[in-house]
Copies of this chain bind each other. A is one copy, B any other.
Amino acid sequence: MQDPFVCTPVSHHHCISSALDKAETLCRSRNVRLTPIRHRVLELIWQQHRPVGAYDLLEQLQQQGRVAPPTVYRALDFLQQQGLIHRLESLNAFVGCAHPQHPHQGQFLICKSCRSLVEITDPEISTVINNRAEAVGFKPLNQTVEVSGFCAGCWQKEQTNG
């Protein structure tokens, strides 16, 4: 995974096109259509490389013609179904997934200060949660794990300033 914390403008350009390439390959192999709108929405999401709201995307799309909310939400639904993006429940926002090959639920670290985000995929977290759920007779299907706090850089600033 491309680490957002060290993602420079140059490497980020690469990480956008890499994500889009992966998406195209994946959609072709699954025989689903990554239409221009869907492709564009995914591109806009990766350009930010941080959580983006649906209406932010809408605004950007509207710079090239009239677009209405359902268009954006449909694209987001598709991208989510294909595992190309994740929805962040605590932010009402969306972020690109860097490993869309295997369906999974991400675990997200969200910086309160710079609003950057890192997705981790830790099997131990999933396992512990599932075990505890099953221990009380619950059948777990889907996990939402979102951690808010400070990224390394912002935490350092916090400590020196505060």
A111 to B133, CA, bound (A): 11
> Distance (Å) between the CB of A154 and the closest chain B CB?
8
Whether, in the assembled complex, A150 has its beta carbon less than 8 Å from a beta carbon of chain B, the answer is: yes
Whether, in the assembled complex, A36 has its beta carbon less than 8 Å from a beta carbon of chain B, the answer is: no
In the complex with contacts A89-B90, A90-B89, A137-B5, A145-B144 CB distance below 8 A: yes
A6 to B85, CA, bound (A): 38
Q: Which residue of B lies closest to A141 (CB)?
A: B149
> Distance (Å) between the CB of A108 and the closest chain B CB?
9
A68 CB contacts on chain B under 8 angstroms: none
A130 to B118, CA, bound (A): 14
* Cross-interface CB contact of A138 among B124, B136, B150, cutoff 8 Å: B150
Q: Which bucket holds chain A's interface residue count?
A: 35 or more
Whether, in the assembled complex, A19 has its beta carbon less than 8 Å from a beta carbon of chain B, the answer is: no
A112 to B133, CA, bound (A): 14
A107 to B147, CA, bound (A): 12
A109 to B140, CA, bound (A): 8
In chain A between 121 and 139, which residues have their CB closer than 8 angstroms to a CB of chain B? 122, 124-125, 128-130, 132-133, 136-139
26 A–B pairs (Cβ distance < 8 Å), ordered by A: A89-B89, A90-B144, A109-B136, A109-B138, A111-B138, A118-B138, A124-B132, A125-B125, A129-B145, A133-B147, A138-B149, A138-B151, A139-B149, A139-B150, A139-B152, A139-B155, A139-B158, A140-B149, A141-B148, A142-B148, A142-B149, A144-B144, A144-B145, A144-B146, A144-B147, A145-B145
